[in-house]
Chains A and B, each alone.
Chain A
Amino acid sequence: AQSVTQLDSQVPVFEEAPVELRCNYSSSVSVYLFWYVQYPNQGLQLLLKYLSGSTLVKGINGFEAEFNKSQTSFHLRKPSVHISDTAEYFCAVSLIGGGADGLTFGKGTHLIIQP
């Protein structure tokens, strides 16, 4: 079975500073990787995904993530954050070839932007 670990439950950052949210996964088979964002009182929205090819993927709102197979990591980065980035961020994996039960999520990282 696959699992996802988000190493920080909460990350405080000053506005306009860079941020990195860490994600590591464990799986006996190859996986697809996703980052979702959840704004207060809303559902989850897809930020970006890694399926294959270039290990650096770009998503919406200026976020990017890098897949590192040897480290089994998929860390999310943004060079300059804004107040509007305050949200909960979830890393998720799914098995290549599909597993009918879809995504396995990490426990989330709360990004807090301080003015």
Chain B
Amino acid sequence: NAGVTQTPKFQVLKTGQSMTLQCAQDMNHNSMYWYRQDPGMGLRLIYYSASEGTTDKGEVPNGYNVSRLNKREFSLRLESAAPSQTSVYFCASSEETRGFEPQHFGDGTRLSIL
């Protein structure tokens, strides 16, 4: 099983460019999440989708948009990239959002904004 697959693995952008980070899971999970990881900051939630057809803001949503395309796929879009968005981005999924389900993570997308 692939689990959670993120593409691309690495990307370099110029300030002002746009791009979409893709995420797909093959575990039939209902809930999906986007996090960013910065040195010394742990993981911070950007957006989440509790179920297909719903999305909500997390702790740090500014500058991002998301789309829950179907049950498997959850994409993250940077409309106008800024150097402050240089980070490692992780997608995760869980069966539900009842609290006790562990989240399963992809290997991350390393994004640099010049």
Contact = CB atoms under 8 A, between A and B. Distances in A.
Contacts of B48: 100-102
Contacts of B114: none
Contact of A95 (B44, B94, B99, B103): B99
A93 to B, nearest CB: 9
A96 interface: yes
Contacts, number: 72
Question: Which 3 pairs of residues, A with B, have the shortest CB-CB distance?
Answer: A43-B105, A107-B42, A98-B98
A31 B33 CA distance: 19
Contacts of A9: 40
User: What is the predominant secondary structure among interface residues of chain A facing chain B?
Assistant: loop
Nearest to B54: A100
A99 B48 CA distance: 11
Given A51-B100, A94-B100, A100 B50 contact: yes
B35 to A, nearest CB: 8
A97 interface: yes
Given A43-B108, A107-B40, A108-B42, A102 B94 contact: yes
Given A34-B102, A98-B97, A98-B98, A43 B42 contact: no
Interface in A44-64: 44-46, 49, 51
A43 B37 CA distance: 11
Interface residues of B, number: 27
B98 A97 contact: yes
Given A100-B48, A102-B48, A43 B97 contact: no
A96 B42 contact: no
Given A46-B102, A90-B42, A105-B42, A98 B96 contact: yes
A99 B105 contact: no
A42 B109 CA distance: 10
A28 interface: no
A74 to B, nearest CB: 15
A43 B4 contact: yes
